[in-house]
Each structure stands twice: as structure tokens, then as C-alpha cells.
Structure 1
């Protein structure tokens, strides 16, 4: 059983982000000064220590590769028997944070990083591109040819977004741990993101899109496009899918490819902020409102969705992961104050208001995670997501649909929500923009919902039934570590990632854009 807490009560605990209206047509977002107290630091340090304990429990002692997930026990962990480049990258940047916070010594940090990178230098991968396959056995480093569920044969896939997160981790490690720089660079220097960039993905537009990825050999059960966008090495077999929206996690791969000169800067504007406002796109859950602006010769529809008096550039699912995980590495709000600097605080505010005022769960923070009933599910604030199926915020999978004005009526514009599912890592991602609210929310999840164990916060909890997904996912735990590292350890992830060509090429690129985000 839980007691609801109003947004007024939460804000009384100390606001981190103040929203103030200015002249008509513009809105400014000024962060009120927030300095963590000794108690805040102690609380975050305890959460980080316990979270790190789960990551250690996931990691194979011989290979240094973390499992994708473990169950409730961190003293006798049952590992998943598979991992991915994203999981491995998350473990690497978490190791940097653990050292920075004094959880482990510099010597242990170096040993762990070196062990993992040495293993990765030896595992099978797509050598011409320097990219890694999607699934490996964490205990052996062998590529999996059966899906993680063990139910069917698979052709090893080379994912753009997974390799983006691994490359991001290498970029952090090379600067945070100079003694491992040579080893990190030996892997990073081989990676070529041009393999994913299809310049012809949007005919008539001056730049293209990133592929979801490719196969080294043709899969027997999927149609593919044979080719080679990089122009070096043998042809590969591309999945037909492209990442065509901006506010989602694959933009980390875009940032890295642009910083390295492997993808043209104009590609950033070829991804859509929201799909067009014509009836051809009326499958969206609401009609976007915005203006057209031109950047680097590309017409961009700067559209937004409306939610509770806010205008927000939506992500695909309305979840915190898509919107804010890339921001762990690139200081988007600082570098792009007229775009991400508006949108990120509003995304956080939307999650807070959805959980406390709209759905009245009493808690907030929604992102893909383990389902408390078993398996894995997607969660989000559906009203700020484009997915017509919805990333729901409850176990009942309640779908919001406002309708598409002038084209079709809504099917569920005023939903009644059920058993809300909050995911602690989502609240940690929000901590950069609402630290006081996040600390209060997480403290209540721990103390009232008891969604906490020896390895930190469990992956998700249903607030009404009290059902808890008592397991730990390495990616979600790595997001927790990254968020704590940035907020409580002087931007340790960002300051080691956002250097050199990232600053030179990415900062001026994203600084030029103006979203239509703001208050209605």
C-alpha cells in the first residue's frame, strides 16, 4: 500500500528547476541553485556503493565481461549467460565512476578496465568495420549463435546503437584512465561509423540516416540490403530499418560519427524531431504543432506535442532512457540552450507531473525495464511519445490517444491509469535537472515500496500491487552510476567524453538549433 504525494509537497522539498515565462513566444528555464547537503551526498554514496556491488556480481571474474542481468542475489549471482557491447560499455564507465567516488581504488579500476578491454581485443567481431556483434557469452567471450532466450538460431548482428554506447565508453576510459588509453584507442581507432550511414535514406534531403545495423552473412529469415556505405571491405547485409527520429538513444552514435568525421554534420538535421502534421501521419497519438526552420540546407519541422501545458519534442516512447541517456555524455542542455536546454527539463517535469498529478501514482520515472510480472516491457509517459501502440506507465498497458486534429478523433484522450510501474534508473537520469525531486522520489521508492536490495534499487516496481522485479540489469545499473557520477562527482562522464573533436564538431552543430519547446 502506498500514500500519494502531491506535486506541491514534492516541490516544497526543494526545487531544482524553476520554469519562468518571459516575453510572448519565448520561455526561459533557469536552474535555481542546488548544492547537495552532507546527507544528500551520503545517500547518493550509499546508493552508488550498492549499485556497484550488483555490477561486480554480474561480471565474470576471468573475462571481465558483465552479464546482461542477474537475479536478486548479489552474493550468489545467477548470471544471464549473455551480454552486449552496450552492457560492456556500461560496466566500463561505471568503473570510472566507482573510482571517482572512492568506492574502488585507482589500482582496482585499472585492473578491471584492462581486463575487460583485453578480452574485447580478442573476441570475434566484424573486423573491417571494427564493430562488435550484439550478443556474447560473458563467461567465454564467444559470439552467440542462439538468441539470448535460447529458443532459436540467430545470425550475429552488428548494431549501430550498441556499438555507439561501447565507443562512448571507450572515449570516456581513454581520458579518465590514461594508463589504459593505448588499449582503449586500439579498439576505438578501428571502429568506423561510416558503415552505418546511408546517404540516400531520405531522397531529396541533403543528408541521410543511420542504419539499425548489419549482418556479416545474410540471415535466412530476413530481407536485407546488400552493400557497403563505408566503401571499404566486403559488402555486408543491412537491415532495412533506419533511425529516423532525433530524440532517441541512437543519437549517441550520430554524435560519435560526426565527431570522428565519419558522418556528415547535416545528418543530425536529417533525423525528424516529430513526424509531419499532415493526415498521412495521423497514426500518431496527437497532431504536432510547430514551425519549419532550415539548418545546413535541410528543412526541419520543429514540431512538438502538448502535455499539461507544456510543448515537448517527443521521443518514440516518451521514456526517460531515449530522451536523457545521451545527455549523460554530451552536455546537451548547456551546449544547445534553445533546444535540448528547453526540452530536457520539460521531459523531466512531464514525468513528475504524470506520476504525481495525472496518473496519481505517488511516484514517477518511467523507462523500459523488467516487468514486475516477469519478462521485460517498455514504460514511458505515452502522451510525450510517438509510438501509436504506446509506452504505457502501468501494468494494464493503458494507451493514451488524443487523436489527430482534422484527420481522426482520439480513441482515449482521457485515460484512467491502473497499477503504475516506476523504474528507478529513470529517476536517476532526471537527477541532472531535478536533483531534489529525484532524491525525494527515490528515497520513497526505497523506504515505502521496498524496491531495494543488496545491489541497490531493483529494476522496477508496481506502486499499487507492490509487485517488484527483483533483478538487476547491467545497462540500467550503469545509467544509475553514470547519473550519480555526473551530479555528485563533477560531471565525471561528461568531462571525459566531451573533449577534443566532440567539442569542436558537435557543440556548434547542436547549438544552432531552436526547438519549439516551451510552455503553452
Structure 2
């Protein structure tokens, strides 16, 4: 395949948009904002504002119910009741960050007053300034008791002891929230800065993992008794830590937020971005994944990048690990990736949304769409996605039966199940909210039908998931998923409030030129891509 693709026409879920791309050595020729184009001529009407406004108020009610009145820390989850909530007794940096940016959104939507917003944010940040954490890096442990702020030494299930872990991605989401808060709430800026200024993402960056370097999953302050680790210190400050052995080595996952934060704070070199895989290589050595990628090689910052793509229903796109909405679009809540990187994310994000819509409506024929990790309607927690646009050979299925898709690897092995028959599909409302930036009319209609026809809605907003054929509902609320709902509504209905307050001029200067230089091979196969 040649790298000289002069034009791509992307049919957006909400209309048609012409996105013109040239070779990697030239500039993007389309001057309009791709994210705006993808909405077509859609503007929220009075009914849209009233409906989504009600969803936002109810979603905020669930977040208030999750939050301890003394510490200001949200629980990871509660059951269906928001008037007598049963809290999970654990929380994470991600949950805390989600509550913080949701508070900002609630204020800008007029759900709470500026005074209440400042009170809540100050309460949470004051607690975080006092909790135990890994002081040399400024990073926080993975699990805290939301009612006391104490570090948990027992896993969330309460079944076994754990060594407190310091996660790169979880701290990435908290750092994102602090960036938003410091700009959106001037009265809380000093508190937010006092936490953010101590966070050093260089602790996670391993320059030797691959040419360009990769981000670690995280580390322990003390060695865990049941896990082999790498002792060391990438930042070169403070005592050694005990790294988990895995690195994040693919690009289109939520883990890219840790790299973004490292770039935004000037702590991680830009080469890390191009060190991650778009897809794994197209050789038979990698034939264990679900389909063979196609693409070309390009060079960025001196690094060779295989611009691979997967095929699904006439589209070619860069897959995520599981084919879910969360991995692809949650970082986009903060960094306007489609606008800043029109030749890569500006094409890939709307294609991901289109793939999710077509999977739910046309391929699996569920009648609904939106697939992302969430509560399992049968109990517990499970991963969901459009497996054909994910790399995980184990699969992020879209139904309760865990139907596996496998197209094979051309020239290396035959597919196990290239044309699956799907069962009881599981849709996750937060996934449709994430898609609202790109397909607002479709997302709102899909969610309206989930509420009206499937009754997956309570006093705290949409329940976490619903199986469309059996009608089984996961009647609980998760802090992370509700925070994604609030963030998406804030961006679409409150003038990009989350993105505006995250993406300062400094952040834009450190991230936009980096992601703008790349050209994915995403597009429509009918266009010769």
C-alpha cells in the first residue's frame, strides 16, 4: 500500500464530512474543525437541552450519593438507591478525579451554585492533601477508604491483603482533574497546584523499554510478596521503587493519558508517543491477534511507526485493545484530539463511533449500541466492546454469551469465528455519552430509547448496563462511568468546559504539534484506503 493518499472522505455518523489528508510530509488541507464538521448541522434544540439536562441532574445526584460527607471522597460505586446509598468502602484516584471534573461540569450547567462547587472541590482537595501517598513522586495509591481517606491494604473485594500500588493511568486521570480544577475554580487553584506540582510522571517512563521509551503500568513503594518486580527509579529522585513488569505498548487505549500528562507537565519526552504500537506488526509472529493489519511505515521524531489498521464493515481504523468506547474516547474528553490531530484521531474517532453504531444496529442487530467495560447485568464487572475493532485475542465481547470474533491472520492462520452470531447484547450508556461529541443526534436518540424501552434508568440517571434481549439491568452506579457521562455532557452542552479548562496554551504547545504530525491509515476501504 502506498503512503501517498491524497484524499479521504469520511461519512460521519451524524452526517457527511470531507476530511482532506495529504502525505505525512505536508500539512492538513482541511481548514474547518473536524470535530465540528462531524456533527453536521446539528445544534441542540430546546427538547435536547431539556432531556440531557435532566440526565445530567440525575447523574449528578448519583455522584453526590456516592460521596462521603466528611472526606469529600466518592465511593467507587453504589447500588440503585441514591437516598439511602450503600457505598463500596473504597475509591481510587480515577474516581476522585472524576468527581472533581463532574463538579466543575455541574456548576457550569447550573445544577449547583459556584459556592457549592468551590466547597465540594475544596473539601476533596483538602482530604487529598492529607492522605498517605508516595511522597517522592507525588503520586497516590490505588485504593483508599472513601469514608476515612486511609489507604486500603485489602483488595476491593475484601478477600485478600494487597500491597498498595501506584498506577500511572489512575494518577493520570487525577492529574487531568487537577488541571481542570485549577483553571475552572480560581478559589481552589492553590490547593490543586499544591497537589499537581508534586506529581512526577517521569517515575513511570522507561526509556529502555523500546526505542522512544514506554510508560510503566505502575509501581509499589515496598516489594509485594506475591509478584516479581523490577527494582529501580526512572526519575532518579528518591529511593528505588518496585515496578510491575508490564508497560503500555499500544497507542489507542486509555493509558495514553499518562503520556499526555507527562508531555503536558514537561516530564516525559515526546518520543514515547511514537514508541507505542498503532497495531502490532503484520508478520506471522503476531498472528495470535484477531485479524491481520494493513498499513505503511512512516517516521516521526526518528522512530519507525507501522501505521497499521483493522478492517470492519468497509472501514479501516486503528483498533483499541478491546474495541470499546472508553479506551478510544475517554482521553478525548480532555485533549481535543480530533481538532489537534485531524489526520489521525480526527478520522479515527468518528470511525470508532460509526463502527459501534453499525455493530449494534446492523451487524449484531441489538437495536441499541454503545459498548464499553461496565457492570455485568448478571453481577460483577465485565469488559464489553466491538471485538472486530479490538486487538485482544481473548475478546471484549458485546453480549452476555461472550461471543468471540476471529477473522484469522491472512497467510498465517485461518479464522476461528469470522462470522459470529451474537446473543444478548449488553449496552453501556456511558459509551453512548462518549460518542455524543461525534454523533450527538444518534447518541441522544439511542439513550432516550435505552431509558424508555429498556427502563435502564433510576433516580441517579442511567444504570451501568443493560442486556437488550433479556432485559437484565445492572442496577448500580459507578463513579468512573457517571463521571464520563458528566464530562461528555459538559463538553457538548457547556461549550467544551472540560477541554477548555484542561487545554491551556502551555498544554496545547506541548501536545498539539506532537499529535498533529501523524497520519493514520484510517478511512473507508471504498476510497482505496
TM-score, normalised on structure 2?
A: 0.94
- Deviation of 1:33 after TM superposition, in Å, equals 1.7
- Deviation of 1:259 after TM superposition, in Å, equals 1.6
1:17–1:433 contact (8 Å) kept in structure 2: no
Matched, 1:82 2:90: yes
1:462–1:468 contact (8 Å) kept in structure 2: yes
Matched, 1:486 2:491: yes
1:27–1:518 contact (8 Å) kept in structure 2: no
Task: Give the aligned CA root-mean-square deviation in angstroms.
Answer: 1.6
1:365–1:423 contact (8 Å) kept in structure 2: yes
Indicate the residue corresponding to 1:135 in structure 2: 143
Gaps (5+ residues) in structure 2? Answer: 1-10
Indicate the residue corresponding to 1:451 in structure 2: 456
- Deviation of 1:24 after TM superposition, in Å, equals 11
Cα distance in 2 between the residues matched to 1:27 and 1:187 = 41
Indicate the residue corresponding to 1:101 in structure 2: 109
Cα distance in 1 between the residues matched to 2:511 and 2:370 = 29
- Out of 429, 437, 440, the position equivalent to 2:442 is 437
Indicate the residue corresponding to 1:240 in structure 2: 245
Could you tell which deviates more after superposition, 500-509 or 330-339?
500-509
Matched, 1:413 2:445: no
C-alpha distance after superposition, 1:183-228 (max 9, x if no partner) = 00000000000000000001xx2x1000000000000000000000
- Deviation of 1:15 after TM superposition, in Å, equals 5.9
Cα distance in 1 between the residues matched to 2:349 and 2:475 = 29
Cα distance in 2 between the residues matched to 1:502 and 1:379 = 32
Indicate the residue corresponding to 1:149 in structure 2: 157
Alignment of 1:58-457 (within 5 A): 58-202=66-210, 205=211, 207-457=212-462
**1:388 partner SS:** coil
Cα distance in 1 between the residues matched to 2:409 and 2:348 = 22
- Deviation of 1:500 after TM superposition, in Å, equals 3.0
Could you tell which deviates more after superposition, 396-405 or 251-260?
251-260
C-alpha distance after superposition, 1:134-186 (max 9, x if no partner) = 00000000000000000000000000000000000000000000110000000
Indicate the residue corresponding to 2:63 in structure 1: 55
Cα distance in 2 between the residues matched to 1:142 and 1:18 = 51
**1:42 partner SS:** helix
Cα distance in 1 between the residues matched to 2:22 and 2:225 = 57
Indicate the residue corresponding to 1:4 in structure 2: none
- Deviation of 1:252 after TM superposition, in Å, equals 1.0
- Deviation of 1:260 after TM superposition, in Å, equals 1.2
Distance 1:24 1:403, change over 3 A: farther
2:109–2:490 contact (8 Å) kept in structure 1: yes
TM-score, normalised on structure 1?
A: 0.95
Indicate the residue corresponding to 2:4 in structure 1: none
C-alpha distance after superposition, 1:318-349 (max 9, x if no partner) = 00000000000000000000000000000000
Indicate the residue corresponding to 1:6 in structure 2: none
- Deviation of 1:491 after TM superposition, in Å, equals 0.1
Distance 1:507 1:446, change over 3 A: same
- Deviation of 1:63 after TM superposition, in Å, equals 0.1
Cα distance in 2 between the residues matched to 1:256 and 1:159 = 13
**1:402 partner SS:** strand
Indicate the residue corresponding to 2:54 in structure 1: 46
Cα distance in 2 between the residues matched to 1:15 and 1:282 = 32
Cα distance in 1 between the residues matched to 2:42 and 2:469 = 32
- Deviation of 1:19 after TM superposition, in Å, equals 4.8
- Deviation of 1:95 after TM superposition, in Å, equals 0.1
- Deviation of 1:501 after TM superposition, in Å, equals 2.2
Cα distance in 2 between the residues matched to 1:286 and 1:417 = 19
**1:391 partner SS:** coil
1:255–1:502 contact (8 Å) kept in structure 2: no
2:319–2:389 contact (8 Å) kept in structure 1: yes
- Deviation of 1:16 after TM superposition, in Å, equals 2.3
C-alpha distance after superposition, 1:104-135 (max 9, x if no partner) = 00000000000000000000000000000000
2:13–2:438 contact (8 Å) kept in structure 1: no
Cα distance in 2 between the residues matched to 1:79 and 1:63 = 13
Cα distance in 1 between the residues matched to 2:450 and 2:267 = 43
- Count matched residues: 505
- Out of 2, 9, 18, the position equivalent to 2:16 is 18
